[in-house]
Amino acid sequence: MRSFDAIVIGAGQAGPFLAARMADAGMKVALIERKFLGGTCVNAGCMPTKTLVASARAAHVARTGGPYGVVVNGPIDVDMSIVRKRAETVTMNARDGLIGWFGGMANVTVIYGHARFEDKSTVSVNGEQLTAPKIFLNVGARPTIPDLPGLRDIDYLTSTSIIHLDRLPRHLAVIGGSYIGLEFAQMYRRFGAEVTVIERGPKLASREDADISDAIADILRAEGIAVHTDADNTGFSRSDDGTRVTIGKGVADIDASHVLVATGRTPNTDDLGLDRAGVATDKRGYITVDDRLATNVEGIWALGDCNGHGAFTHTSYNDFEIAAANLLDGEDRKLSDRILAYALYIDPPLGRVGMSERDARASGRPILISTRPMSRVGRANERGETQGFMKVIADADSKQILGAAILGIEGDEAIHGFIDAMNARTPYPVLKWSVPIHPTVSELIPTLLGDLKAG
């Protein structure tokens, strides 16, 4: 049995950085990874998918250049083998960078294998037992496969496998109308495939306010993507040309060449032997943690997607920051201090922070609301991209910004004006007197705040 000061299980966006910090503090650390360093972000999430999004946008810009005076003689073709290779190169560069970083790091032993608890301070991996007084879980999540009629009888894709396609689907059926599914839907439509999105609920991106969900659907439909909601009787069967997808409710069956299942994520906690350590999970399998990321078992913490407190690279990294600050820097950082922000990377993107209007109203507090269509944003008009709108919600009494959304050109960047103000706890009247740069999307933030009215 080998002993360490700390064991980190999983090398996503929290574990490796925490291992490096602890090693720098003189601790002897084991970093155990089942497959690849970098986790979902590097290997099957942000980096490859946003690289694919960039390729899809390049194709879209080329096809739509006429109104800008850019004339392309002949059709625009997409070489999917080059698209795939480019995404793989971005992933491998990042993964190799992590391998090189840890290869030269003193005090960290990287072990590839499947770790399982033997007890609360001991894990086994590759037939060897390792022990440490501190164990950190950063095991991430995987695509959820729903129990739909006939689904397991067909050859379906997930967000992990679709990034390896090197041929263009004739017709891609996307099962699930949330963030991952919508990004792939628009991406493959721009590559040239016919695309249908099938969502069992009444709205796309259901965690968003209805006006945002409706605007997202309009953006996708404008590019020729078929959208079906309230599809709660979807079924599948093999056909001569791929898969027959039955939606029901009077909607004609779809003959899809490929089916992408994008119906959520499941934490990778079911095969870790958590019961042997006594670590508690909720009914969905997420590890239960307190405000400082500690589990119910002393000496064990859970970071990243597996704890259910954010399914994003930046929230996972913030979990590392919280753990490192508390355990190594003598601080007292808490999950409850985090203001959640995220983006949906369709084009134009959605940037979001804090409460939705729905949540703000449900809180019972008096609220102020302001919206502005992107058609009244100079930058959007100059670029000829006026879809979407800006929205902000504030507390009428405290003058604090409760939440904001920018669905529109550069919304994923402009939203940071609100993110920074909310984290600084800056009352919104202060921002009304800022002098932003023209012409930008962010320059409309003071104007938007100036239009706040009781909602």
Active site residues: 438
Q: How far apart are CA 389 and CA 370, in angstroms?
A: 10
Pairing of strands 367-373, 389-395: antiparallel
Helices vs. strands in the chain: H and E counts, helices first: 14, 24
- Kindly give the pairing relationship between strand 194-198 and strand 350-354: unpaired
Q: Token pair 């037992």 is at which residue?
A: 129
Residue 257, both tokens: 């060449």
Residue 335 corresponds to which tokens in the numbers above? Answer: 């999950």
Quote the tokens at residue 356: 């939705």
Of 347, 259, 323, 345, nearest to 45 by C-alpha is: 345
SS3 content of the chain, % helix, strand, coil (to 5): 35, 25, 40
Distance between CA 177 and CA 349 in Å, rounded?
15
Give helix 179-191 / helix 46-63 axis angle, nearest 10°: 40
- Which residue in this structure is represented by tokens 């590839």? 112
Q: At what angle do helices 179-191 and 210-222 cross, to 10 degrees?
A: 20
SS3 208: coil
Residue type, 116: R
